[in-house]
Amino acid sequence: MPIVELSGIRKTYGRGGFFRKQERFTVLRNVDLSLRAGECLGLVGRSGSGKSTLGRIMLGLESPDAGSVKILGQDVTGCTRLPEHIRRAVQVVFQDAIGSTNPRMTAGEIIAEPLRNFDKLQGTALRERVAELLELVGLSPDDAGKLPGRFSGGQLQRICIARALAPSPQVIVLDEAVSSLDMLIQAHILDLLDSLRRRYGTAYLFVTHDLRLVRRFCDRAFFMSDGNLHAFDPAKTVDMKGSKVLEELFNAILPPMPDAARRQGNSGESVAV
């Protein structure tokens, strides 16, 4: 049984509308998606293509205009408050680590928030679990007392990952979670997520616009264009002529070596080696 099952999802936003007629535009047309345990699913697309919206629908932060959302076999379409066992099953890491941590709360309090809510942990048990999570993401338990302003972007992102891991979720939505980080930190965090997947069977929805990351991290992948999902094989670098959007994304992959770049010239041909 899939952990998350989205079927026939449609989402339309209204824009403007104060002085002139409201413009409607559809970001998701008819999207079906299912996610099984331990699976890593890549979702790529250009910015504004609706991939983050799909992630938010999966998280229950937005409700679709049509279609159904099933988590752990239960239909939760349009729930404003998910039942607790479902709420803890689906967690998130956003792109902007600074924006997704309350600047007035210490790292320890940030990570403790889901533990207090779901596991009703308190006192020493809570502190120990927070310390354990901090160590899991490669930070020191002493960091628990520091405010977000004292951490670098990469460290804060690891705190956000620790918070997402705290309730032992079955799915984590990674919404451009590593895009703004340095490559060495990216590698570190992806390795960490990989090992968690092997150990706990956590599934990921990996939302990104960078195909290099999908290639390294995902088993299955979809790209988004005009509000529809299309599957592609992340391991293959040929056979992407099928769609203009995918072709564009593949052509935009930056060259690994400078030589390739110079031969490539300005035409932006594929750089698969």
CB of 269 to another protein, least distance (A): 11
CB of 6 to another protein, least distance (A): 17
Distance CA 56, CA 42 (A): 15
CB of 141 to another protein, least distance (A): 20
Q: What are the backbone angles phi and psi of residue 87, rounded to the nearest 5°?
A: -55, -40
Distance CA 73, CA 78 (A): 15
Q: Which is nearer to another protein, 32 or 83 (CB)?
A: 83
CB of 79 to another protein, least distance (A): 12
**C-beta of residue 163 within 8 angstroms of C-beta of residue 130:** no
What interhelical angle do 153-165 and 107-119 show, nearest 10? 10
Cβ count within 10 A of residue 251: 15
Q: Which is nearer to another protein, 74 or 152 (CB)?
A: 152
Q: Which is nearer to another protein, 81 or 199 (CB)?
A: 81
- Length of the chain, please? 273
CB of 14 to another protein, least distance (A): 13
Cβ count within 10 A of residue 68: 14
Q: Which is nearer to another protein, 32 or 168 (CB)?
A: 168
- The site for another protein (CB under 8 A) is made up of 46-48, 59, 61, 84, 87-88, 90-92, 94, 96, 99-102, 104-105, 113-114, 117-118, 149-150, 152-154, 160, 163, 166-167, 180, 182-187, 209-213, 215-216, 237, 248-249, 251-261, 266, 268, 272-273
Amino acid at 76: V
